[in-house]
Amino acid sequence: MNAPTTYFEHGTAAERWARAQLFFNAREYATAARILDTLASEAPEQLAPRLLLARAYYHSAQLSRAERELRAILERWPVEDYAQLMLGRTLERSGRGAEARPYLRMAAAMAGDFPE
C-alpha cells in the first residue's frame, strides 16, 4: 500500500518548484525537502532544485542527506562554488572540521577571496 500524499506533492514540476520555494522561504525546511526530493530525482540535470534540496536538508539538520546531495552535485558540477561552501559548512556542523577545510578553501578561492 502506498503512503498517502498531500496536496503539495501534486501539480506540475513548475508548481511544485514554486511551492517548495514558498515552504523554504517560510522556514518549513523539512516540507520543502520532501517536495524537492521528488523534483531533483525527476530532473537530476537541473542544479537549482538540487542546491535548494541540499539547503533544506542542512537547515532541517538532516546533515547526512545534505552531505550526500552536495557530493552528488559536486560530482556533476565540480566548479559550483556554493556547493563547495555548503559542503564545508555541513561537514563543520557535523563536527568534521578537518574534512571541511579543503572545501571551504576551494570555495573561498573560487570566490576570489584569497588570504593576504
Average pLDDT over residues 7-27: 90
Mean pLDDT of the chain: 91
Give the DSSP letter of residue 7. G
pLDDT at 8 over 80: no
pLDDT at 96 over 80: yes
Please list, in sequence order, all residues whose beta carbon lies within 8 angstroms of the beta carbon of residue 20, skipping any fewer than 6 positions away. Answer: 32, 35, 36, 39, 49, 52, 56
pLDDT at 116 over 60: no
C-alpha cell at 2: 502506498
Sequence letter at residue 52: L
pLDDT confidence of residue 75: 96
pLDDT at 7 over 50: yes
Q: Whole-structure pTM over 0.85, yes or no?
A: yes
The Cα–Cα gap between 81 and 116 comes to: 20
pLDDT confidence of residue 2: 46
pLDDT at 102 over 80: yes
CA pseudo-torsion sign 4, 10, 16, 20: negative
| b/e code 79-111 from CB counts within 10 Å (16+ = b) | ebebbbbbbbbbbbeeeeeeebeebbebbbeee
Percentage of residues of the chain with pLDDT beyond 70: 91
Average pLDDT over residues 12-34: 95
